[in-house]
Amino acid sequence: MSCLTQPLLANETITSKQRIEQDTETVIITTSRFESQVNQLPSHVTIITKQEIERLSATDLSQVLRRVPGIQVSNTNGKTSVSMRGISASQAGSNVLVLVDGQRLNKTDLASPDIDTINIINIERIEIIQGAGSSLYGDQAVAGVINIITQSGQKQTKTLRYAQGRFDHKQTAGNLGFQIDEQWSLVIKGNKKETDNYRDHNELKNNQLGAELFYQDNQQQWRFLHRTRNETQQTPGALLESDLDDRRQSRPEFASDYVSTDEDYSRIFGQSNLNSNWQFALDVNHQESDIQSINSFINFATFNVNQTRRSQSSVYPRVKGSWDTDNGPLQWITGFDYDKADYEFSLLARSNEQTMESVYSQFYWPLSTNFQLELAGRLAEVEDQLTDAALYPQGVVLDNSASAYDVGFSYQFNSATKGFIRYSNNYRFAKVDEQAYTSDGVLGLEPQTGISLEAGVSGQFESSSLQASVYQLKLEDEIFFDPSATPPAGAFFPGANVNGGESTRLGLLLDYRYFLDENELGLTYHWADADIESSDLAVPGVSENTVTAWFDWQLTSDFSWYLETFYRDERYQEGDTTNTFSKVGGYSLLNSALYWQLDNARLGLRVDNLLDKEYIDYAQFNGYYPAKGQDIIVTFDLVF
C-alpha cells in the first residue's frame, strides 16, 4: 500500500493547477483494497494530503477531519470520536470504520477507535470514503471508511518534532526512514506526549514506539510492522448543568478515576504481481490490549480496579484480476476475511470469544469509455461464545449471519466532471459486550441491517473544484442503548442494549475549493435529517447543519497563514431517544494557524478556539463534557 503522491521539498509550494492535477490522477486503495484511480469510483471520496496537514499546523486528527463534509467530531476531555452521515458520536465506533494502513482501529467491544494515538507526522495521506462499505470491509463500515496512510519504507524522509502548548502540552516525536539496500528499508517511529488537558484531573501520558521493515522489488512488496503503546489518563467524568459555572472542574466522585492501557500491534502485509493480469495480497494482523480502569458515575464513586483484556487477530487474503478492454480495464477483486476476538471484563465476570468469517467480491466493468459499473457483495457469519456472571453464568453460543451488496455507476461527462449513483446494503453485528447487556429474556441481538442510496457529482475546473452528493441511509434493527428498556438481571443502572426500529438519515454534502496561485478558499457543508421512524423523533447526537469555511494564504514563498471558521448546529443529547432532555446548544469557533518552512526546518503555530468560547462538545443523559478553551500549540520540525 504505497503512497503515490510525492512529498514537496521543504521550500516548494504548489499551485492551484498542480493541486487539481494531483486530485484527478491520485491512486487510492480504500475503495477496492488494491490501488484504484480515484476518478473511476462511484463514491464521494475525500483525500487529505500530507501537505494540507502541514499547512494547517495540525497536531491531531480532529483538527484535520473537522473540515471534511459529513464528519462530526466530538471530544470527551481528551478522547475523540468521529461520526459520519448522521450517526451519533456514541454509535460512531460501531458504524464508522477507521483504518491505519488498512488495519482496523475499531474495537470488538464498545470502545471507540482511538484516533488520538495516531502521530500526525507519520501520516502520508488520509482517504475518506463516504457511504456504506460493508461489501468490501464487512462489519462496522455502515456510514463510511476512514483510512489513514502512514509513511512506508519507500520514503526515506527523517522527521523530528517538538511541540509545546497550553495545558502543559509537550510532545517529542520522530519518524526515521533508512534505506538498507536496494530492496530493504526501515522506518522507526516514536512518540512521547504529555498534557494536563483542559479540565482538572485529566492528565495524560502517552508513549509509543514502532518499527516497520519494508521490502520491495519489481514484482512484490512486503511490510513487517510492530508497535507498542502505553498510556495513562485521568478521567474527570461528566458535569451536571449546575456545575458548568466552573467548566474546568472535576466532580469529587471522579477523583480516583483513570484508564491505563498497554497495547501491542503486529502486522504482516504483502502484495505480489503473479503475472500481467493477477495480483495477490495477504494481510495478517494481531493486537493485544490490557486495560486497567476505575469508572465512577455522577453521585456514585467507585474504587474497584477493573481489568479489560482484548485480543484481536485477522487474516485477509485477496486477489485482483485486471484485463484490458476497448473501454478500459475490467477488474475483479475477491477475498476472504477471518477475524477472531477474545474479550474479558473482570467487573462482571464477562467474556466473549467472537469469530467472524466472510467472503466478498467486487467487479469494475467499463461499459463504455466514460461509463463504469461497480458490483460488490459479501456473505458473513459470526459466532459469539459468551459468558456473563448475571445473564449467562454457564455460557451461551450465539450464531448470526448477514449479507451486503453494492451496485454503482460512474459517468465521466468530460475531462473535468464526473457523476455517480450507488445503491448499497450494509450491516453490523452486535459488539461483544452489547450481547451481554440485553433485556431480561432477550437472548442476544440480531444484526443491524440497512440500505444506502447516494448520488453525486464532482468537477475539477481551471481554478476551482466541487464535490456534491446526496444520500439516504435507512437502518433496521438498529443496535443502541435504550435507557427505557427493561434492564438485565443484576443491572447497575436502568436500560439495555436493544434492536430498535427503523431510522432514516437524509443528507447533503458540499465541498468547494477555489484556488488562486498558491492560495485556497474552501467551504464544506453537511445537512443531515436523522429521524426514528416509529416515533418521528430525531436521532440523538446529530446536528442538522455543520459548516466549515477557511482561507489558506501563502504570504511568501515560505510563510503561510490559515484561518478557519467552524459551525455546528444544536442537537439532542446522546442516548436521548425520547427527545425529552434539553438540547446541546450549537456553537461556532474560529481557528488559525501560521506555517513557516525554510530549508529543513518547519515552524507551526496553531490556535484553536481563538476567541476562547465556552461550549459543550458531548452530552449524555444530562451529563456534560465541556470542550477545551483557547488552545495554543507551537511545533518545530526538522526534516532531512
Tens-digit pLDDT profile for residues 337-356: 999 999 998 887 889 999 99
User: In which band, very low, low, confident or very high, does the pLDDT at 116 lie, cut at 50, 70 and 90?
Assistant: confident
pLDDT at 401 over 90: yes
Q: What is the pLDDT of residues 433-475, one digit of tens each?
A: 888 888 888 888 999 999 999 999 999 998 999 999 999 999 9
Residue 443 lies in a domain: yes
Task: Please give the DSSP secondary-structure letter assigned to residue 572.
Answer: P
Does the pLDDT at position 21 exceed 60? no
**For the segment 262-283, what is each residue's pLDDT rounded down to a tens digit?**
999 999 999 999 999 999 999 9
- Comparing 518 with 588, the larger pLDDT belongs to 588
Q: Are 337 and 355 in contact (CB under 8 A)?
A: no
Task: Tell whether 5 is covered by a domain.
Answer: no
Residue 145 confidence (pLDDT): 94
367 DSSP 8-state letter: S
The angle subtended at Cα 378 by Cα 374 and Cα 380, nearest 5°, is 170
Give the model's pLDDT for residue 27. Answer: 67
Looking at 192-196, 415-419, 610-614, which range is the least confident one? 415-419
Torsion-angle region of 535 (φ positive above 0: left; ψ -120 to 50: alpha; else: beta): alpha
User: Whole-angstrom Cα distance, residue 69 to residue 51?
Assistant: 19
Check residue 153 and give its pLDDT. Answer: 66
- Across the chain, mean pLDDT equals 90
Residue 22: CB atoms within 10 Å: 16
Q: Could you give the CA distance from residue 85 to residue 284 in angstroms, rounded to a whole number?
A: 30
Q: How far apart are CA 199 and CA 248, in angstroms?
A: 4
Q: Within a domain: residue 126?
A: yes
Q: Say what the pLDDT of residue 473 is.
A: 96
Q: What percentage of residues in the chain have a pLDDT greater than 90?
A: 72
Task: Average the pLDDT over 396-413 and give the result.
Answer: 95
Q: Please name the amino acid found at residue 388.
A: D
- Cell numbers at 560, concatenated: 503561510
Asked if residue 494 lies in contact with residue 443, where contact means CB atoms within 8 angstroms, the answer is no
**Residue 364 near residue 41 (C-beta atoms within 8 A):** no
Alpha-carbon dihedral 81, 606, 45, 267, rounded to 10 degrees: -60
From the list 74, 75, 77, 60, the residue with the least C-alpha distance to 203 is 77
Residues contacting residue 555 through CB under 8 Å, at least 6 positions apart: 561
| Domain limits for position 270 | 16-639
C-alpha grid cell, residue 298: 455522577
Inside any domain, residue 395: yes
Cα 100 to Cα 123: distance, rounded to the nearest angstrom:
9
- Res. 2 pLDDT band, cuts 50 70 90: very low
In the structure, what pLDDT confidence band is assigned to residue 151 with cuts at 50, 70 and 90? confident
* pLDDT exceeds 90 at position 535: no
Within a domain: residue 8?
no
Q: What is the CATH number of the domain that holds 275?
A: 2.40.170.20
Domain membership of residue 1 (yes or no) is no
Q: How many structural domains are present in the chain?
A: 1
Residue 273: its pLDDT value, please? Answer: 94
How would residue 20 be classed by pLDDT, with cut points 50, 70 and 90? Answer: very low
Q: Which residues contact 492 (CB under 8 A, 6 or more apart)?
A: none
User: What pLDDT, on the 0 to 100 scale, is given for residue 551?
Assistant: 97
CA distance 420 to 377: 19
> Cα(171)–Cα(151) distance, rounded to whole angstroms?
19
- For residues 147 and 93, is the Cβ–Cβ distance under 8 A? no
Answer yes or no: is 6 within a domain: no
Whether residue 11 is contained in a domain is answered as no
